[in-house]
Chains A and B, each alone.
Chain A
Amino acid sequence: MATIVRPAAATLDEPAVAVPHVTVRGLRKSFGAATIYDGFDVDIPRGRFVSIFGPNGCGKSTLINLIAGLIPADGGDIRIGGKPLRETRIGYVFQNYREALFPWLRAIDNIEYPLKIAKVPKAERRARVERLIAKFDVKINLNRYPYEMSGGQQQLVSIMRSLIVEPEVLLLDEPFSALDYEMTLFMRDQLQKIFNETRTTMVLVSHDLEEAVYMADKVLLLSRAPTTIAAYPDVPCARPRSPETLVDPLFTDLRGHCLEVFQREVRKS
């Protein structure tokens, strides 16, 4: 079996071998006359953070929606840890937290709701929510309703809701794009902290190249539709990332490389 040796910059607690966690094979998807995917393959390694970046309409969100089973594929095979979708637990964070949280439930009941669906007994649900809150170290009043909270707080609740089931894969669709810059920076740190602690496989769709590189272990750069992989480089920067990472030559070089690839793909049309 072919194995990929991790770059030297990888931290010690990561496995030295990248094991595919999500495997996409021969994926096909069209919307009307527009073919987005026509025989697309990709592997998302286990316990890694992958960012997806690419030109408008290349199907970034479509890809994670297909992985999450929110929309049906026209063809191909998607497996998570070798299992089909319905046998796995997926966490999904929507761009529009306002329309994703349930406004009739308090924040804490929103977080608990996926456990209710999974038929976890009431007492255990509360205990698990308490544990998650402790891990997050959040200082927001979760007894309030979502519409009484700020955008950042709502998205934090939304992320906690997606993590409560301890998903095998967490998919995030431009989760910070509706937040102001200050809140975006704070939320990136929060997400990185969660990733460092849980090592859940994460896939982030981003429209911000800096964010895509900053957050990720690997950046999946997509071409214009019909979509192929334009590049899939590793991010060699150590974790935890911090504002200094942004001026690290390893970071700036890679971002420059990604930008070149992106511009080449945009010009192709």
Chain B
Amino acid sequence: MNRVPSEVLRDSVLPVVGVFVLVLLWYAAIAARLVHPVLLPSPVEALRALWNGLSAGTLLLDFLRTVQRTVLATLIATAIALPLGIVLGSWPRLYRSLEFVIDFFRSTPASAMFPLFLVIFGVGDETKVLVATFGAALVILFNVAYGVMNARKNRLLAAKVMGASPARILFEITLLESLPQTFVGLRNGVSLALVIVVVAEMFIGSADGLGHRVFEAQQLLQMPDMYAAIFAAGALGYCLNLLFQLVERRVVHWSGK
């Protein structure tokens, strides 16, 4: 494709347009006094709060605590769901018999489980991580099992006709076949874990974390701090997703081709 340099430049600017429009609308809302000035500080104030919070370390600490909980929950969820998903996917009849239970709890908002987990595990840090683990594990389990069940039959037959043992077929063919779907599960799982962790930090007696920071800033009417914490949470979610996409593109390079 022959593309004029000016077109290339124009297209590279496109992703910034949305940000620009958002900032404009923000300023317009302030100018038009749509919202009380205390509730809606200017973008500059919010960014300054973000910078101050990060450099002073208070917001940074909350950020890192949330990362820690989310990553821990995702790791535990993966460690449980990956082998279990492979087992269930390898025996479709076993999966069918458990499908309703898995689907039911996968569809249950994990936040509805907070009180139950609180009663069982107390108000400590484990509870937040465990609820997030619960939500993420079901999503990962579901995707891994389906990835294994939907492995291309031809590839399994090709390995079979070469004389591959069932164990070799499982580890060298089926597992790789299920990898694209597994990554879908991991990406959704980490997103869900982040959502649950942030909510848990707000409402389950917590002294740190981004959820705690947002909630506390709101209670104290420190609006720039609140927006700063929201931005930090958004950036975290975005970066986690981006990270998984990058890893996915490298590991499952054949996906969708």
Contacts and interface: CB of A to CB of B under 8 A. Distances in A.
A113 B163 CA distance: 11
B158 A104 contact: no
A242 to B, nearest CB: 32
Given A89-B163, A102-B158, 14 more contacts: A69-B160, A69-B161, A70-B161, A92-B157, A92-B158, A94-B157, A99-B154, A99-B155, A100-B155, A103-B254, A104-B254, A117-B162, A117-B168, A145-B253
B162 A70 contact: no
A165 B162 contact: yes
B51 to A, nearest CB: 44
Nearest to B162: A114
A101 B254 CA distance: 12
B164 interface: yes
Nearest to A90: B161
Interface in A106-149: 113-114, 117-118, 145, 147
A213 interface: no
Nearest to A94: B154
B176 interface: yes
A255 B157 CA distance: 33
A165 B160 CA distance: 14
25 contacts: A68-B161, A69-B161, A89-B163, A90-B161, A92-B158, A94-B154, A94-B157, A99-B153, A99-B154, A100-B154, A100-B158, A102-B155, A102-B158, A104-B179, A104-B252, A104-B254, A114-B163, A117-B159, A117-B162, A117-B163, A117-B164, A118-B162, A118-B163, A145-B253, A165-B162
Interface residues of B, number: 20
Nearest to B168: A117
A102 B173 contact: yes
Contacts of A104: 176, 179, 252-254
Contacts of A100: 154-155, 158
B257 interface: yes
A268 to B, nearest CB: 32
B74 to A, nearest CB: 24
B152 interface: yes
Contact of A96 (B154, B161, B164): B154
Contacts of A147: 254, 257
A201 to B, nearest CB: 16
Interface residues of A, number: 21
Interface of B: 152-155, 157-164, 168, 173, 176, 179, 252-254, 257
B158 A94 contact: yes
Given A103-B254, A104-B176, A104-B254, A113 B162 contact: yes
A145 B161 contact: no
A99 B152 contact: yes
Given A68-B161, A70-B160, A103 B257 contact: yes
A130 B84 CA distance: 41
Most chain A beta carbons < 10 A, residue from B162, B168, B173: B162
Interface string A80-94: 000000000110101
Contacts of A90: 161
A70 B157 contact: yes
Contacts of A117: 159, 162-164, 168
What 7 A-B pairs are tightest by C-beta distance, nearest first?
Answer: A103-B254, A147-B257, A99-B154, A114-B162, A92-B161, A99-B152, A100-B158
A61 to B, nearest CB: 12
A99 B254 CA distance: 12
A165 B163 CA distance: 11
Contacts of A101: 158
Most chain B beta carbons < 10 A, residue from A99, A103, A118, A165: A103
Nearest to A95: B154
Most chain A beta carbons < 10 A, residue from B153, B163, B179, B257: B163
Given A99-B152, A100-B155, A102-B176, A145 B162 contact: no
Nearest to B251: A104
